[in-house]
C-alpha cells in the first residue's frame, strides 16, 4: 500500500507551483547516533574502526568538543532555520541508515544504524518522505529493515523504496499538499550503487525496490499512470552509481530520460555520490544526478579533498 503523508486535507484545488526540498544522503548512524539522546550499541565491524564513538573523537580533533545527549534538532544545525525560511511544500530525503537495535550485521564493511529511540531527530526536520532504496538500509539484515519500517510507520513518517514485500517496496509515498495536489515519491535502487541483488524485495521477502533493467520502465510507467492524478507531481528518487567522481555514465542519463519520457516522472532525484553531480533540464523536467551528502559523521575523516567543496 502507498505510504501517505497527510500534509493537507483532501479535496483541495490543484496548486499552481510546488517547492520541493530534495535532499542527498542523510546518515544518522554511527557518530551521529552516539551524540543523540539515546545512543545505541557503538560496536562496529569495520576494518579499522571498531566503535562508533571513534568518529565523534575524530571530528573533535578538528573542530573541538562536541556535546553529548543533544536534542533532536541539534544535528541539523542551521539547516532547520534555512528550511523554514525557504518553506518547501515537501521535504524528501535519502535516509541512508537502518533504524534498528539488530545485531545481525551484513558482511559488507560499513554498517549504519540509528537507535529507534532517536527517531525524533527526523520529526524535528519535519521530513515528508524517507527514501529507503539504498545500499545501507539492509546493513543489519532483514530484521533491521523490518524494524526500520516499523519505527518510521509508528512515528508517522512516510517512506518509499523498501518494504515488507515487493509490492510495498514499489509503492510510492503519497504526500498531500496544502492548497491541492500531491507529490508521489517512488524509490528505486541500482546495483551500481552497491545494492546487492539479494537485497531486492520479493513476494514474501522484505527488501528494496531494485531496478534490475531498462525493461522495468514499462512496468513503472503503468504504476505511475495508475497513481497520478491531475495536479500531481511524480518524483523518481533513485540511488545509483559509485561514490566519487563527477562523470554521469551514459546509462544513467538514458535511464533518467526514460523515467521522464516513458514513465511520466516530473523530477528525477538522484543520490549515492558523496558530493553534488550535474543537473539537467530534460523536456522541461528536472534531473538531479547526485545530491551529495547532507548529514554525516565524516568531518573527522581525511581524503577526497577535491570533492569537499560542497557536500550537500
Write the pLDDT tens digit of every residue in 198-243. 999 999 999 999 998 766 899 999 999 999 999 999 999 999 998 8
Mean pLDDT for 293-300 is 92
How much is the pLDDT for 8?
46
Q: Does 181 have pLDDT greater than 60?
A: yes
Mean pLDDT for 28-34 is 98
How much is the pLDDT for 1?
55
Q: Does 75 have pLDDT greater than 60?
A: yes
- Does the residue 209 lie in any domain? yes
Mean pLDDT for 101-117 is 95
pLDDT tens column, 43-54: 999 999 999 999
Residue given cell 570533492 in the structure block: 307
- Does the residue 182 lie in any domain? yes
How much is the pLDDT for 3?
62
Instruction: Report the C-alpha dihedral over residues 208, 211, 215, 219, rounded to 10 degrees.
Output: 50
How buried is residue 70: exposed, middle or buried, by Cβ count under 10 Å (0-12/13-18/19+)? Answer: middle
Q: Does 309 have pLDDT greater than 80?
A: no
Mean pLDDT of the chain: 92
Q: Does 248 have pLDDT greater than 80?
A: yes
How much is the pLDDT for 242?
83
Question: Which residues have CB under 8 Å from 263's CB, separation 6+?
Answer: 217, 220, 221, 224, 236
Q: Which helix (H) or strand (E) holds 86?
A: helix 79-86
How much is the pLDDT for 312?
47
How buried is residue 82: exposed, middle or buried, by Cβ count under 10 Å (0-12/13-18/19+)? Answer: exposed
- Does the residue 31 lie in any domain? yes
Looking at the structure of the chain, the number of domains it has is 1
3-state secondary structure of 77: coil
How much is the pLDDT for 244?
74
Mean pLDDT for 165-174 is 98
- Does the residue 25 lie in any domain? yes
Cα distance from N-terminal residue to C-terminal residue, the chain: 31
How much is the pLDDT for 245?
77
Mean pLDDT for 19-31 is 97
Q: Does 310 have pLDDT greater than 70?
A: no
9 band by pLDDT with thresholds 50, 70 and 90: very low
- Predicted model pTM: 0.92
Instruction: Report the C-alpha dihedral over residues 138, 264, 291, 129, rounded to 10 degrees.
Output: -50
Q: Identify the domain containing residue 178 by its residue range.
A: 3-307
Query: Which conformational region is residue 77 in: left (phi greater than 0), alpha (psi within -120 to 50 degrees), or beta?
Result: left
Mean pLDDT for 155-184 is 97
Q: Does 113 have pLDDT greater than 80?
A: yes
- Does the residue 89 lie in any domain? yes
What is the share, in percent, of the chain residues with pLDDT greater than 90? 84
Of the two residues 187 and 309, the one the predictor is more confident about is 187
- Does the residue 55 lie in any domain? yes
- Does the residue 312 lie in any domain? no
Helix 250-261 with 216-227: angle, nearest 10 deg: 40
Question: Which residues have CB under 8 Å from 303's CB, separation 6+?
Answer: none
Of the two residues 7 and 210, the one the predictor is more confident about is 210
> Distance (Å, rounded) from C-alpha 168 to C-alpha 218?
18
Indicate which CATH number applies to the domain containing 155. 3.60.21
Mean pLDDT for 34-63 is 95
- Does the residue 76 lie in any domain? yes
Q: Compute how many other C-beta atoms are within 10 angstroms of the C-beta atom of residue 11.
A: 6
Q: Compute how many other C-beta atoms are within 10 angstroms of the C-beta atom of residue 245.
A: 13
Amino acid at each position: 500500500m502507498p505510504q501517505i503523508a497527510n500534509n493537507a486535507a483532501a479535496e483541495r484545488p490543484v496548486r499552481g507551483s510546488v517547492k520541493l526540498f530534495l535532499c542527498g544522503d542523510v546518515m544518522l548512524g554511527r557518530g551521529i547516533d552516539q551524540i543523540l539522546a539515546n545512543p545505541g550499541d557503538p560496536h562496529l565491524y569495520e576494518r579499522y574502526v571498531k566503535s562508533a564513538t571513534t568518529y565523534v573523537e575524530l571530528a573533535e580533533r578538528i573542530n573541538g568538543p562536541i556535546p553529548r545527549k543533544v536534542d533532536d534538532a541539534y544535528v541539523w544545525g542551521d539547516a532547520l532555520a534555512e528550511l523554514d525560511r525557504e518553506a518547501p511544500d515537501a521535504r524528501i530525503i535519502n535516509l541512508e541508515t537502518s533504524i534498528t537495535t539488530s545485531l545481525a550485521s551484513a558482511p559488507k564493511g560499513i554498517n549504519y544504524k540509528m537507535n529507534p529511540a532517536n527517531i525524533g531527530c527526523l520529526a524535528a526536520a519535519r521530513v515528508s518522505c524517507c527514501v529507503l532504496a539504498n545500499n545501507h538500509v539492509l546493513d543489519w539484515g532483514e530484521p533491521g529493515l523490518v524494524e526500520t519500517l516499523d519505527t518510521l510507520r509508528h512515528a508517522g513518517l512516510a517512506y518509499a523504496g523498501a518494504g515488507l514485500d515487493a509490492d510495498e517496496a514499489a509503492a510510492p509515498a503519497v504526500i498531500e499538499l496544502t492548497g491541492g495536489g500531491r507529490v508521489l515519491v517512488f524509490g528505486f535502487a541500482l546495483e551500481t550503487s552497491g545494492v546487492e541483488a539479494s537485497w531486492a524485495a520479493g513476494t514474501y521477502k522484505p527488501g528494496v525496490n531494485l531496478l534490475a533493467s531498462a525493461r522495468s520502465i514499462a512496468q513503472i510507467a503503468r504504476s505511475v499512470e495508475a497513481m497520478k492524478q491531475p495536479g500531481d507531481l511524480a518524483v523518481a528518487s533513485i540511488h545509483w552509481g559509485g561514490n566519487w567522481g563527477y562523470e554521469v555514465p551514459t546509462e544513467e542519463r538514458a535511464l533518467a530520460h526514460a523515467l521522464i519520457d516513458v514513465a511520466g516522472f516530473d523530477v528525477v532525484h538522484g543520490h549515492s555520490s558523496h558530493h553534488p553531480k550535474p543537473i539537467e533540464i530534460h523536456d522541461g523536467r528536472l534531473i538531479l544526478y547526485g545530491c551529495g551528502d547532507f548529514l554525516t559523521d565524516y568531518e573527522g575523516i581525511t581524503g577526497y579533498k577535491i570533492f569537499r567543496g560542497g557536500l550537500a
